[in-house]
Structure 1
Amino acid sequence: MKALYIASTGMGAQERNVEVISNNIANMRTTGYKRQRAEFQDLLYQSYRRAGSATSDAGTQVPVGIEIGSGVRLAATARVTTQGSVAPTEKELDLAIRGEGYLMVGLPDGRTAYTRDGTLERDAQGMLVTVDGYQIQPGIVIPGDARSVSISRDGMVEAFINGDAQPVQLGQIQLARFANKGGLESMGDNLFLETPASGEAQIGIADNEGMGSLLQGYLEGANVNAVTEMADLIAAQRAYEMNARVISGADQMLQAAAQLR
């Protein structure tokens, strides 16, 4: 009976849906995390009678056909890229991006990754790096004797060095944006990679030409809404239960047919 296989695809799809929701909930406190949403598509249909087929020599046609679907599948896990809440951290190298854009990060293999996580530190050479030690691109060195490091809205890094009366410009943090942010590939560690679907990175100065602005001493939180996720979880659980009930009902029908004499 096809109902058994159709309902099994529904159970599998809702299982994947719960996995997506659980990942969102697990990352509620992850800096710069963007929630994902499971999207589904129906599977192929078996046509028993096509709409518009002739029913007589007079040319009459069937207004509605007979089509039976074969279930559902997970089509995509779209990433919702809305702005997360911004909170102060009182740490001078923390950065939040308010608006469009990603920080650029140089990976050990030469590739460039992109992130919304602005938790920055200085390494042993004074380079501005992520918490995993990856250098921010373009590279910026903050001398060991620098004090009162400031980062402006457009990413200009300045500091007082050797008791100078005027701050010295150390470099400028740039941002990258994409035509299709949802097409970026997640690689973990709050990093994304460019793909053909995302388009090439458009690099520019923060707070200019549509780029977001930088906020020093702040971090962007996850855009996960706990109430929404719990409501989606309940809906996914009920959908899973209903598909399981269909399998149980189809099994009872098969059992009744098997007992016919």
Structure 2
Amino acid sequence: MKKIAKITAGILAAASVFACASCKKDQGDLDYIKEKNVLRVGITVYEPMDYYNEDETDFIGFDADLAKGFAKELGVEVKFVLITWANKIAELNAKEIDCIWNGMTASEELSQSIDLSVSYATNNQCVVVKSENVNKFDSADKVKNANKIAVENGSAGNKVCEETLGLPMNKIAAVTAQADALTEVASGASDLAIIDYTMAYSVVGKGNFSNLAIVDIGKVSFDNEEFAVGFRKGSDLTEKANAYLKKCYADGTMTALLEKYSGVALNEEKLK
């Protein structure tokens, strides 16, 4: 009898472990982050969306401030995690981060791998050159004939070079971040960079990039884009983010952020 009782107890214990494991497997992202008490936000240093404050103790920016508010609304802490942009999907799916909130261009291709929130801002790809070269690369054909073009690896600018312009790999300098692409141009290593206009507007002509200029976007620019926040496929955080973003638009939060962080264009059509 005791032997049977022990066997029965063992079976029940095993079933309990299996049930708990199954429970964890089926756990939604909302419960997951609440259990961890933290929302890990994947970013790169990208002014005016996500960048260090003056003493480099925290991240600020249009996206960073929105992400902080979202975490607060969910009742958890926020942690910003610097990611490699080309590996963003892998890092998200591996649960190294819980979302990508970094002026990310929404696309049909991307939506096949991850969930995308409602679009909250618009953007395009612009051309940045040394100030003296603004007339040298003021058309798509002239851009195509550049000796070397710097882009962030895996970015929309990278896609423009490969797909829109059809450039060979030896003409593309794919670097880790958009700021690195600008450094390539400032140093003379590349003729030009193709990056987000949102970032270029905020940093070009200032500080380390004071010798650079944006080529007139009325003459040359690429890919009208929409920004969205990325979540794991099937995440219950996506619906929460959609409601939060629309609320921030309706109550004036986003308008207030525009006064702090210039260069962002709201996607009002999608936020209404």
TM-score of the two chains, using structure 2 as the length reference: 0.25
Q: Where is the helix percentage greater, Structure 1 or Structure 2? A: 2
Greater C-alpha radius of gyration? 1
Q: Where is the strand percentage greater, Structure 1 or Structure 2? A: 1
TM-score of the two chains, using structure 1 as the length reference: 0.26
